[in-house]
Amino acid sequence: MADRETTGLDAVSRPLPHDSARAHVAGRALYTDDMPEAAGMLHGAFGLSEMAHAKILNLDLAAVRAAQGVVAVFSAADIPGENDVSPFAGDDRLFAGDEVIYHGQAVFLVVATSLQAARRAAKLGRIEYEKLPPLLSIEAALAAQSVIEPAQIMGRGDVAAALAAASRRVKGTLEIGGQDHFYLEGQIAIATPQEEGRMHVLSSTQHPSEVQHSVARVLGLADAWVTLEVRRMGGGFGGKETQPALFAAAAALAAARTGRQVKIRADRDDDMVMTGKRHEFSTVYEAGFDESGNIQAMSIKLASRCGCTADLSYSINDRAMFHADNCYFYPAVKIESHRAKTNTVSATAFRGFGGPQGMIVAERAMDHIAHELGLDPLLVRQRNLYGPGRDVTPYAMRVTDNVAPEIIAELVDSSDYEARRAEVAAWNETHRIVKKGIALTPVKFGISFTTTHLNQGGALVNIYADGSILLNHGGTEMGQGLMIKVAQVVADVFAVPVEMVGISSTRTDKVPNTSATAASSGSDLNGMAAFDAAETIRRRLAGVAARHFGVAETDVRFTQAGVRAGANWIAFPDLCRLAYLNRVSLSATGFYATPEIHYDRKTHAGRPFYYFAYGAAVAEVAVDTLTGEHKVLAVDILHDVGKSLNPAIDLGQVEGGFIQGMGWLTTEELVFDGQGRLLTHAPSTYKIPTASDRPARMEINLWARGRNAEPTIHRSKAVGEPPFMLANAVFCALTQAVSAAVPEAGFPRLDAPATPERILAAIAGLRVGHG
């Protein structure tokens, strides 16, 4: 089993550096755009829609074709297969046909001898439109009954009766903005035609198999004739799960038609305009509770802007519902979800996959209840945690691994929360302009794809006669450290240094039918699959050693000093040579399917998650009540990663996730105008956190007692997404600081992101209400 004790070398649980760390800082790490260009390579650029919703009456590309350097121009009429690059719904087009449904939609592609020539020519297209009324907001779409699917409801009990019977009630709203992925490496693909009509595509993607399927569908080929490859991405965050399909399919179409290698590399403005974002949400909550803050009933209504197509919005909105409880038990609960279809770019996967939007509503409700009762919000949170006899979620899954109370208690002590809260209160009593806030919020995040069949992973391990090992699996590297973790797992099986394990590009012709590196499942799925493959070879090698030395296979041990067979020793490379000479295979595939998960979407009940990842954060902030500007002063984090495969990598993921979550809730604002045009499409107008936004004091610790209750790979836990939601503490602390600006007023209406304008508006709202 993968949860057995590690070998004497203990390759896992060591804080090893990222496998490409030195190459990254030295500029030697090769990304798609760094690959050698074939002679005669062509470059592509898209002609984009200038309308959010319109019929195309005429498409005149004569000037485009006549432009200097142009080799070919393609539109929907030139597609030999299907005009479909969607993940499953069939509604995402490679090129618009007779109608455009969002501003920035691809209408045609021009390929030219240089990127500059292609971009200049793409601006020469003449499109005659018949403008149609666009639906741009959640409110407008729901009023027009424009949805991607009917409303979904989960819950239990008679919520209306429980609310009516409660001695205290609060009701509030929370608007939650979207977020651009802003990966450092933009969308890019290089398509190279192969013999007999086959195609090889280099793509910056988290989901090679999905992009492979899309390319094959557009070209009218069998999947096996398309090979998709990715060595690394310069960031993904969910934005390279479905979105790369359009760029890869367009490059492949042009390569197939011209017989030449084609590269498409989107510039930052086009990338931000063309690709999907985190879902924007509009929410309403109503809670019934007693005088101690114990919740008796909770009603939550979620409405999201899904954009113009389904993309992954079904599952994303489902996950928002799954996480509207966070760590809290609601005796009677109703969670209602509306999925608005709008004439904006289709919203897509983003770190947390809907979970953050659901979870922040739960935290807002806790703050509101505490404000109503005059209690410390932490006390309200602790009184409503899951516990014995209170351990069933709104989707009928029992919470059996609940360590949130222990983590919170430890963090309260280690962060000196009580004393600091008193200091914040004292500060606010004596300072009129700058107000402070402090909050402690927990995280409970479900781990698994909620689409059950995606919970599978494959791997290929090859050992050569000299003892060197080559590892390939279905996971992709986007800077998160997946490759080094899986290499550590394989090295541990054979008790060899991790340097002996070579890491290779993810390729669909090596490991087929892979799932996306998403849902925080990369190490769980691919680590287990690689372990399975390595164990198969280890058993073969043990048999070779046993026969050679005349001992039982159970007497063979792989150790740091070599392989011991009874009283005999043999070096690992020598054993591999011996196996080769004895015609024993040193290659094996591995496979893993997450057990025990099931979910009935019709009833919204089951066990969609194999386990939960937990954590908690304390954030202390200061707000200038004259300008609305804020500063995060200090952050303390305690996070559960189970038995860490690599503490150095995991600490980096926790810090990065928190900072990205902080950006979503404070500075990153997507602004569309009344015509559906994205106005914040460059770093000049879209503000991600920078190094100066990192709190001056930031204490991050992995929970020392962490160990997964389920038999995951070495009892580790996922770490990619859960830390993102630790940043809820910042938003809740800002709410406390805003409230302190007008202490006798009601609960502040602060929406996300909490930009200076929104903070000032929230303070002004309190003053108006109080006055």
| Active site positions, annotated | 721
Question: Using omega within 30 degrees of 0 as the cis cutoff, is the peptide bond preceding 753 cis?
Answer: yes
Angle at 152 between CA 146 and CA 157, to 5 degrees: 145
Contact predicate 186/376, CB 8 Å: no
Please name the residue that has the structure tokens 């939609």: 105
243 neighbors 275 (Cβ within 8 angstroms): yes
> Which residue from 702, 667, 600, 641 is spatially nearest to 485, judged by alpha carbons?
641
DSSP 8-state class, residue 524: I
Output the six-digit token pair for 645: 């495969």
d(CA 384, CA 397): 17
Positive or negative torsion for Cα 233, 357, 639, 759 = positive
Q: DSSP string covering 402-425, please?
A: --HHHHHHHHHHHTTHHHHHHHHH
Distance from chain centroid for Cα 228: 21
Please report the DSSP string for 328-344 in residue order: B--SEEEEEEEEEE-SS
Tell me the C-alpha distance between 738 and 726, whole Å: 20
φ, ψ for residue 732, nearest 5 deg: -70, -35
In the beta sheet, which residues pair with residue 70? 112
Q: How many Cβ atoms sit within 10 Å of the Cβ of residue 692?
A: 7
Alpha carbon of residue 691 to chain centroid: 22
3-state class (DSSP) for residue 372: helix
SS (HEC) of 615-681? EEEEEEEEEECCCCCEEEEEEEEEECCECCCCHHHHHHHHHHHHHHHHHHHHCCCCCECCCCCECCC
Return d(Cα 426, Cα 476) in angstroms, integer.
50
Cα separation, 348 vs 516, whole angstroms = 14
| Token pair for 588 | 């094996």
DSSP state for residue 264 in the 8-state scheme: E
| CA distances from residue 586 to 63, 489, 496, 529 in whole angstroms, order as listed | 59, 17, 16, 16
List all residues 6 or more positions away from 30 whose beta carbon is below 8 Å from its beta carbon: 231, 232
462 forms beta bridges with 470, 587
How many of the other CB atoms lie within 10 Å of CB of 768?
Answer: 10
Contact 476, 206 (CB under 8 A): yes
The order of strands in the sheet holding 587-593 is: 501-503, 469-473, 456-463, 587-593
DSSP state letter for 552: -
From residue 166, give the alpha-carbon distance in Å to each of 204, 300, 327: 53, 16, 21
Look at the chain and count its residues: 771
State whether residue 359 is helix, strand or coil.
helix
Do 379 and 393 meet the contact criterion of CB atoms below 8 Å apart?
Answer: no
> To 5 degrees, how large is the angle CA 345–CA 346–CA 347?
110
Question: Distance (Å, rounded) from C-alpha 545 to C-alpha 568?
Answer: 9
